[in-house]
Amino acid sequence: MKHNFGAGPCILPQEVFKQSADAVIDFNGLSILEISHRSADFVSVMEEARSLVKKALGVPDGYTVLFLQGGATLGFTIAALNMMRDSKKAGYINTGTWAKNAISEAKAVGINVNVFASSEDQNFNYIPKGYQIPSDADFIHYTSNNTIFGTQFHDIPETSLPLVCDMSSDIFSKPVDVSKYDMIYAGAQKNLGPAGATLFIVKDEVLGKSTSSFLPKYLNLQKHAEKDSMMNTPPVFSVYTSMLNLRYLMENGGVQGAAERNAAKANALYHEIDTNPLFKGSASKEDRSLMNVTFLLTDESIKEEFDRMWNEAEIVGLKGHRSVGGYRASMYNALPLSSVNVLLDVMKEFSRVKG
């Protein structure tokens, strides 16, 4: 078995893979891939998936949960269009590649974007602090976890304006106070399920208030909410597998249990990075991500040897993103501590032979 440290799509629990694979062959006598999304069987899957999202995150009354398509990338556009009000202004925090993409998509639909905080001056290796949140904006947008740069917001930005968050790479990894947000969105393919579904958690009072003159039906969350997330054919397989994964999460301590396991994994790896002289972390310590751990070699000339060693240990997906270099260990919910221990053993052994 390989140890998957990939940034996403990523590992899901083996039990979920098995149940999901079984349903491809036989789901009440048909394949999950061939049943009608209007069938009672699938309607109940969709309802259970939506209700498990609410249960797992403690979503308060007055919010709607939707499973759409298009990934978080279309989410950038959907968020901007649905949150647009009279001022057509929005405040965005720029913490890396995905935040930048969110900014450019908001501009593309006619929003006057004020980037009031950014960590671009240091290649996004920290989370900006001490910023002034604009008061004249329709909404504020940020990215809770920066998958590429290995930084994460450990506090929710304080604002009285409607708050929107791209939580693609840390949703379901820890508890979150949903009541602070008007909209949360996330591509499924990290902690939720297979690629294909995009989750939206949206405050009901937001729906139907867009001032955009351009709002195609598919991009209008009100239309999806009216049809209980079944306006058109949903990503059936992704929703089904996400539902199985949410059941698994709830049977294993919910998001609190996941948070404890994730902290144990991340602490172990950061400890090794900080104490092993051959490695150094690339993100500012107080802003380190518990999901994506980015690190570098202190001596690049011994890179080949390290690469050979982790490859031989059946580790995959450790190569860093080209915009940071070095390594990135993504440790989503389903990555077991035993896989992290394999990486730690490789790092220790590398230090023994090279140090």
Which residues of this chain interact with ligand PMP, rule CB under 6 A? 8, 71-73, 98, 143, 147, 166, 168-169, 187
Residue 338 CB, nearest distance to ligand PMP (Å)? 25
Comparing CB distances to ligand PMP, the nearer of 20 and 169 is 169
Exposure pattern of 128-140 as b/e (b: 16+ CB <10 Å)? beeeebeeebbbb
- DSSP lists the bridge partners of residue 272 as none
d(CA 57, CA 199): 13
Comparing CB distances to ligand PMP, the nearer of 38 and 322 is 322
Residue 171 CB, nearest distance to ligand PMP (Å)? 10
Cα distances from 246 to residues 44, 66, 305, in angstroms, run: 15, 15, 40
Comparing CB distances to ligand PMP, the nearer of 171 and 347 is 171
Residue 148 CB, nearest distance to ligand PMP (Å)? 7
Residue 157 CB, nearest distance to ligand PMP (Å)? 16
Supply 68's token pair: 């759409």
d(CA 163, CA 158): 9
* Contacts with 7 (C-beta within 8 Å, 6 or more apart), sequence order: 147, 148, 169, 292, 317, 321, 328, 330
List the one residue out of 38, 55, 13, 20 whose CA is nearest residue 201. 55
Residue 166 annotated as catalytic: yes
Comparing CB distances to ligand PMP, the nearer of 124 and 350 is 124
Pairing of strands 327-330, 292-297: antiparallel
| Catalytic site residue from 166, 170, 182, 287 | 166
Residue 310 annotated as catalytic: no
| Catalytic site residue from 174, 182, 190, 203 | 190
Comparing CB distances to ligand PMP, the nearer of 64 and 168 is 168
Residue 219 CB, nearest distance to ligand PMP (Å)? 15
Residue 98 annotated as catalytic: yes
Cα distances from 231 to residues 8, 63, 67, 86, 347, in angstroms, run: 28, 18, 11, 28, 50
The answer to whether residues 211 and 84 touch, using CB atoms and an 8 Å cutoff, is: yes
- Residues labelled catalytic: 98, 166, 190
